[in-house]
């Protein structure tokens, strides 16, 4: 990756406080229902993440948490927006199904968005990433654990952007955003072994200059990051990843999200980007 100047771009995000956060069911390998979650701590850590983003000048909308939806804090899963069009989510597991309507209500309450209800199972930005500066605007999409590959074709029709399907093969990295992240408008970082050999080839062809992460980085949720093009917000455990993004010219900003990791998520899972 070349060391051009890394310029930030102002972003708009959507977050949902972990007010009803628990681990009472297990739908990914990180969730252990026998270990209690410290709800107060989760909320303090979440606040820190929010103020880190607002402190950088970004706008953060807050979606009200709803009782009975403990995973709602992972707001990235609720939809995927590109250029003002919102492709809604349809969750794989019934425990999270009602989150989609809460996100839908957020978008349809404003004229800024064209919301499209999905037919196919997909978990929003958990499995979709957008690179506005790559190939004129490219969507990367994961499948294998949550999102149905049929949703990739549906998203392409809804958004009018090419969608590249990538197969995830490691259950520890069940969403695309646990294995790959956009560092800016055209650069990505990813953990190759989270993908099938064929999908690794596709990524290598599209992004020859990608920053490659290793298993340790991925297990520390180092790829579950949010970047504004210059500042890379990632969790404090991901020290190796912080070093790598720093060597590539970005500015790592560590935030402690140890409680959210108990649900199988970190920074990116808790932050949906709104692309008007």
| Contact between 77 and ligand ARG per CB under 6 A | yes
Exactly one of 16, 181, 269, 274 binds ligand ARG (CB under 6 A); that residue is: 269
159 token code pair: 């958004």
Exactly one of 177, 217, 237, 273 binds ligand ARG (CB under 6 A); that residue is: 177
Exactly one of 1, 42, 76, 267 binds ligand ARG (CB under 6 A); that residue is: 76
Whether residue 16 lies in the annotated active site: no
| Contact between 175 and ligand ARG per CB under 6 A | yes
Q: Which listed range, 2-10, 27-35, 207-215, 227-235, lies at the site for ligand ARG (CB under 6 A)?
A: 27-35
The CB-of-131 to ligand ARG minimum distance in angstroms stands at: 17
- Centroid of chain to Cα 235: 13
From 58, 175, 187, 231, active-site residue: 175
Q: Which listed range, 97-105, 129-137, 245-253, 263-271, lies at the site for ligand ARG (CB under 6 A)?
A: 263-271
The CB-of-221 to ligand ARG minimum distance in angstroms stands at: 9
Binding residues for ligand ARG restricted to 80-99, rule: CB under 6 A: 96
| Contact between 263 and ligand ARG per CB under 6 A | yes
Exactly one of 13, 46, 74, 113 binds ligand ARG (CB under 6 A); that residue is: 74
Which lies closer to ligand ARG via its Cβ, residue 6 or residue 148?
Answer: 148
**How many chain residues bind ligand ARG (CB under 6 A)?**
16
The CB-of-126 to ligand ARG minimum distance in angstroms stands at: 3
Whether residue 152 lies in the annotated active site: no
Q: What is the DSSP string of the chain?
A: -----------EEEE---TT----S-SSTT--TTSPP-HHHHHHHHHHHHHHHHHTT-EEEEPPP-TT-GGGG-GGGGEEEETTEEEE-B-SSGGGTTHHHHHHHHHHTSTT-EEE--SS-B-GGGTEEEETTSTTSEEEEEESSSS-HHHHHHHHHHH-S-EEEEEB--GGG-SGGGTEEESSSS-EEE-GGGB-HHHHHHHHHH-TTPEEP-HHHHHTTTTS-EESSSEEEEETT-HHHHHHHHHTT-EEEEE--HHHHTTT--TGGG-EE---
* Positions that interact with ligand ARG (CB under 6 A): 27-28, 31, 71, 74, 76-77, 96, 126, 175, 177-178, 263-265, 269
């Amino acid at each position: 990756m070349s060391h051009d100047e890394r310029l930030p771009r102002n972003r708009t995000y959507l977050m949902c406080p972990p007010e009803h956060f628990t681990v009472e069911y297990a739908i990914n390998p990180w969730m252990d229902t026998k270990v209690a979650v410290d709800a107060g701590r989760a909320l303090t850590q979440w606040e820190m993440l929010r103020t880190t983003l607002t402190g950088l000048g970004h706008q953060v909308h807050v979606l009200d948490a709803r009782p009975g939806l403990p995973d709602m804090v992972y707001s990235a899963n609720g939809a995927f927006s590109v250029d003002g069009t919102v492709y809604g989510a349809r969750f794989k597991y019934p425990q999270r199904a009602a989150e989609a309507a809460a996100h839908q209500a957020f978008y349809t309450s404003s004229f800024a968005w064209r919301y499209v209800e999905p037919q196919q199972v997909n978990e929003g930005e958990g499995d979709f990433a957008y690179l506005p500066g790559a190939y004129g605007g490219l969507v990367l999409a994961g499948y294998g654990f949550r999102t149905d590959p049929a949703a990739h074709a549906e998203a392409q029709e809804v958004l009018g952007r090419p969608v590249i399907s990538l197969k995830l093969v490691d259950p520890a990295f069940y969403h695309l955003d646990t294995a790959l992240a956009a560092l800016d408008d055209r650069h990505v970082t990813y953990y190759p072994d989270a993908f099938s050999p064929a999908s690794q080839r596709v990524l290598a062809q599209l992004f020859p200059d990608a920053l490659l992460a290793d298993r340790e980085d991925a297990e520390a949720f180092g790829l579950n990051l949010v970047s504004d093009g210059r500042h890379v917000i990632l969790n404090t455990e991901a020290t190796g990843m912080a070093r790598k993004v720093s060597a590539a010219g970005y500015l790592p900003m560590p935030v402690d999200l140890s409680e959210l990791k108990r649900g199988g998520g970190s920074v990116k899972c808790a932050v949906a980007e709104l692309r008007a």
